[in-house]
């Protein structure tokens, strides 16, 4: 049995699903593996392409801004065989005051930079956490909360890592929109993503709030 379990159910009168964490030692990777398998097999109704119960041939969700984590960037670097500094060719960095957002770059027409001309993801097996945990279906509120808490901390670590990597080369973090004037390393403390190279090394209980873990473990 998976440490994270997904089950089809009715939510607010519509077909949807729920999830439960069955072990306090479940990792983010185990969550993703269970979700990928469930989404593949469950034939849930999709809300975006009408009358559809799978994702094959669809890329409607590959046009939205896509925030990334330090581990997403590790995975992209491994898939493309590039280093951390080079990965910024594919990232969009936006700064407002001391708030830094890092997303995947998008091409003209807002397509994700990794969507090829045939509408296929060029890095599918290394696609970011938010891509792997999204389904345009009737989803439980807990899934939205898991996604938001994981990405917030993972992006904080990406910003910390980027500030340090560029600083070691005597440069500021490259910014596509805004200015680094108020960006200060002290605002980005280490967290449970620090020094981790894969999602299998981070336990859900170390990244999610204790309130959310309690609900998920019920
Ligand atoms: S989750 Fe994305 S790819 Fe899958 S059906 Fe919905 S919009 Fe299309
Ligand atoms: S990384 Fe791949 S799956 Fe994710 S938005 Fe881009 S093309 Fe789509």
Percentage of residues in the chain with pLDDT exceeding 90?
93
Sign of torsion over alpha carbons 45, 138, 128, 31? negative
Per-residue 3-state assignment (H helix, E strand, C coil) for the chain:
CCCEEEEEEEECCEEEEEEEECCCCCEHHHHHHHHHHHHHHCCCCCCCCCCCCCCCCCCCCCCCCCECCHHHHHHHHHHHCCCCCHHHHHEEEEEECCEEEEEECECHHHCECCECCCCCECCHHHCCHHHHCCCCCCCCHHHHHHHHHHHHHHHHHHHHHHHHHHHCCCCCCCCCECCCCCCCHHHCCCCCCCCCCCHHHCEHHHHCCHHHHHHHHC
Q: Which atom of ligand 2 is nearest to the CA of 63?
A: 5
109 CA → ligand 1 middle, Å = 18
Q: Supply the pLDDT for residue 3.
A: 95
Residue 218 has pLDDT above 90, yes or no: no
Q: Supply the pLDDT for residue 158.
A: 98
Q: For residues 118 and 126, what is the distance between their CA atoms, to the nearest angstrom? A: 18
Q: For residues 73 and 80, what is the distance between their CA atoms, to the nearest angstrom? A: 10
pLDDT digits 0-9 by tens, 147-182:
999 999 999 999 999 999 999 999 999 999 999 999
- Which stretches within 22-140 are classed as H helix? 28-41, 70-80, 129-132
Q: Supply the pLDDT for residue 70.
A: 98
Q: Supply the pLDDT for residue 50.
A: 86
Q: Supply the pLDDT for residue 1.
A: 76
Instruction: Give the domain ranges of the chain.
Output: 4-217
Pocket test residue of 46, 56, 132 for ligand 1, highest count of atoms within 8 A of CB: 46
126 CA → ligand 1 middle, Å = 17
Question: pTM of the full predicted structure?
Answer: 0.96
pLDDT digits 0-9 by tens, 18-35:
999 999 999 999 999 999
- Helices (H) and strands (E) in the chain — how many of each? 6, 4
112 CA → ligand 2 middle, Å = 6
Q: Which ligand sits nearest to residue 110's alpha carbon?
A: 2
């Amino acid at each position: 049995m998976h440490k994270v379990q997904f089950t089809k159910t009715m939510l607010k009168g519509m077909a949807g699903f729920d999830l439960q964490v069955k072990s306090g030692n479940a990792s983010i990777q185990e969550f993703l593996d269970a979700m990928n398998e469930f989404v593949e097999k469950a034939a849930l109704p999709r809300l975006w392409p009408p009358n559809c119960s799978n994702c094959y041939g669809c890329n409607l969700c590959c046009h939205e801004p896509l925030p990334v984590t330090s581990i997403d960037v590790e995975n992209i670097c491994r898939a493309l065989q590039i280093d951390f500094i080079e990965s910024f060719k594919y990232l969009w960095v936006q700064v407002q005051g001391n708030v830094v957002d890092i997303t995947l770059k998008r091409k003209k027409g807002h397509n994700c930079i990794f969507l090829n001309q045939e509408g296929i993801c060029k890095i599918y097996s290394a696609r970011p956490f938010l891509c792997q945990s999204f389904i345009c279906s009737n989803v439980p509120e807990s899934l939205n909360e898991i996604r938001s808490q994981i990405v917030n901390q993972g992006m904080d670590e990406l910003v910390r890592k980027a500030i340090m990597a560029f600083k070691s080369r005597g440069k500021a973090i490259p910014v596509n929109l805004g200015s680094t004037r108020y960006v200060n390393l002290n605002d980005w403390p280490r967290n449970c993503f620090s020094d981790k190279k894969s999602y299998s090394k981070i336990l859900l209980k170390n990244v999610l709030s204790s309130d959310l873990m309690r609900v998920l473990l019920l």
